[in-house]
Amino acid sequence: MKLNKLTGALLIAGACAMAQAQASDDRYIIQVDNSKKGVVKALAKKLGAELHVDGDGFFAATFTGKDLSQVKGLLNNPHIKLVEADQKRYPLGIYNDDAGNPMQQQVTPYAVYQSQANQLTFDANAGMKVCVIDSGLDQSNPDFIWGNITGDNDSGTGNWYENGGPHGTHVAGTIGAADNNIGVIGMAPGVPMHIIKVFNAEGWGYSSDLAHAANLCSQAGANIINMSLGGGGSNNTESNAFENFRNAGGLVVAAAGNDGNNVRSYPAGYPSVMMIGANDADNQIADFSQYPSCTSGRGKRATNDEHICVEVTAGGVDTLSTYPADMATSSSMTADGAAFASSAMENSGNASGSLYFMGTAEATDGAANGKVCLIDRGNISFHDKVANCEASGGIGAIIVNNEAGMLYGTLGDTNSTSIPAVGAAFEDRTALMAATNANISIGTSDYGLMSGTSMATPAVAGLAALVWSNHPECTGEEIRSALKATAADAGAVGKDVYFGYGIVKATDASAYLTANGCAGGGSGDGDNTTSVELSASGYKQKGNSYVDLSWNGASTSQVDIYRNGSKIVTTSNDNSHTDSISVKGGGTYGYQVCEQGSTAACSATQTVVF
């Protein structure tokens, strides 16, 4: 895949230390009563501080060269409630493969079908509004109902309606691109949005920016906040802001992170925020999607909270959405007049002519002169294949994948070719081999592909707006529970750290609320809900690790016990069992108890960390 250099350069989020003595850029948040804020700000300025965000009950300031303890010492004032580090926050989107040609027709992204969004109608009169905290929204894109969109600027970020890179425009399109016969269609087409631009020219912002943005979202009348962003370290001011929004009836969703590890990213890691992971079009977890444990603490002091780990997932791999004008690249391809999906590799232009099969194109071939080369993937680089086609007189190249799915790739940083080259899916190889003529075109586009939990998060935000518009009497927490209760189980049986409760299903969630009311009818894990309840407690004794399991609700005489997805024992249903782990050192272990022979009548996964 082609890495988006702009976005990829920013993605160090999630790998930051969870605590630090000195804040990012010596910048801190000072919590203070609003009535005394002026006095404290004056004191800070007198002490040499540079003031930044002025929020509700707090302000942010830089104390150059000072660590946290030094700033606390300087600001020894009875009006100050708390001084804390102002954490950096980054957009969380990694890959950007440009494919498709939605400039001439409306294209439905795969995640719309996967999540059942196409089966439910958005009620535009229900009063839903999504607040998008990101890098701005490009006003040139025609795929939005601009009369439904408002915005705010944060300090130093510029106009909210001017893009700070493609990230925010892509995110907004997934939420609410209009159903207008052009471009793409969002999860909640045409939903009103409030855009808050928090990322600066370098592509990041601070936790104080997010806390202030949460207040602006409330003032704008938003029901839902979307944050396709994150970073290391929790922050009290930031956490309180989102908890206040949630307590007022709203729903906050944020990206789990893209480092493919078990690090907890914030703000997704706050209990008031719904953490979203990413899956692909084949219902598989994305390899970049972070999977923090639901457990905090260790040993007998460990506690389990499903609100600090991934709760659900949605499509976030190769997601097609809106882009700032001409910032994406798209391709189109036909063979014998029939349209085929393709991906733009390199070199803008058009090529139309007879189709010539060139094998794996490991050498020049004079028979390709004046023709479009059809090339199999394998053996040598994409660049060398296209170079051999061009050196043979070929006017364009189509490289077909050698495994299931679309071929995404580039010709490298030292590309010396000039003919247009596109990738094609392995599934289309037979039809392309039988064709006699082909036409390929590569050009700029207002639509492109990106991958990341950044892309899955707006999918859930849009789906929440879609479902909520059909049940406006519910609260955000009730919508959150319904999405989890009806998510399609994926990965290990029952709830797990990768998918949470599973892949979101909009129509099922709406039907669930219709049948059960806003309060719902279960514990929040829907199709995974059973009568089996499990608790797990880990401890060490003489250097050995043990886990005490206690359960109830199983109806069979024996139960199956699973550790990390593998059955370790079938034992009597006497409601308790102790598992001895022979591996030395630490580790994370997920346990489930199932009725004997069943993979459905199971408890939720309980995690123990040593």
Place of tokens 């364009």: 396
Place of tokens 């990390």: 564
Residue 304, number of CB atoms within 10 A of its CB: 18
Torsion angle of the four alpha carbons 206, 258, 447, 251, in this order, in degrees rounded to the nearest 10: -60
CA pair distance 63, 71, nearest whole angstrom: 7
Residue 337, number of CB atoms within 10 A of its CB: 8
The per-residue pLDDT for range 469-505, each reduced to its tens digit, is: 999 999 999 999 999 999 999 988 888 999 999 999 9
How high is the pLDDT of residue 328?
Answer: 83
The per-residue pLDDT for range 175-190, each reduced to its tens digit, is: 999 999 889 999 999 9
The per-residue pLDDT for range 441-461, each reduced to its tens digit, is: 998 889 888 899 999 999 999
CA pair distance 362, 316, nearest whole angstrom: 35
Q: What is the mean pLDDT of residues 222-249?
A: 94
Total length of the chain: 610
| Six token digits for residue 144 | 């939005």
CA pair distance 213, 541, nearest whole angstrom: 49
Residue 586, number of CB atoms within 10 A of its CB: 10
Quickly state the pLDDT bin for 323 (edges 50, 70, 90). Answer: very high
| φ, ψ for residue 225, nearest 5 deg | -115, 130
Q: What is the CA radius of gyration of the chain?
A: 26
| φ, ψ for residue 372, nearest 5 deg | -90, 120
CB 8 within 8 A of CB 33: no
CB 255 within 8 A of CB 457: yes
| Residues facing 344 on adjacent strands | 422
533: left (phi over 0), alpha (psi -120 to 50) or beta: beta
Quickly state the pLDDT bin for 530 (edges 50, 70, 90). Answer: very low
Checking if the pLDDT of 13 tops 60, the result is no
The per-residue pLDDT for range 241-268, each reduced to its tens digit, is: 999 999 999 999 999 999 999 999 999 9
| Residues facing 576 on adjacent strands | 550
Report the range out of 76-85, 298-307, 430-439 with the highest average pLDDT: 430-439
Through-space distance between the first and last CA atoms of the chain, rounded to whole angstroms:
37
Q: Which long-range contacts (CB under 8 A, 24 or more apart) does 540-548 make?
A: 540/299, 540/610, 543/584, 544/580, 544/581, 544/582, 545/580, 545/581, 545/583, 545/587, 545/610, 546/578, 546/579, 546/580, 546/581, 547/578, 547/579, 547/581, 547/589, 547/591, 547/608, 548/576, 548/578
Checking if the pLDDT of 155 tops 80, the result is no
* Overall pTM surpassing 0.75 (yes/no): no
How high is the pLDDT of residue 108?
Answer: 87
| Residues facing 51 on adjacent strands | 61
Checking if the pLDDT of 534 tops 60, the result is yes
CA pair distance 127, 139, nearest whole angstrom: 23
**376 or 318: whose pLDDT is higher?**
376
CA distances from 533 to 550, 554, 592, 606 (A): 8, 8, 9, 10
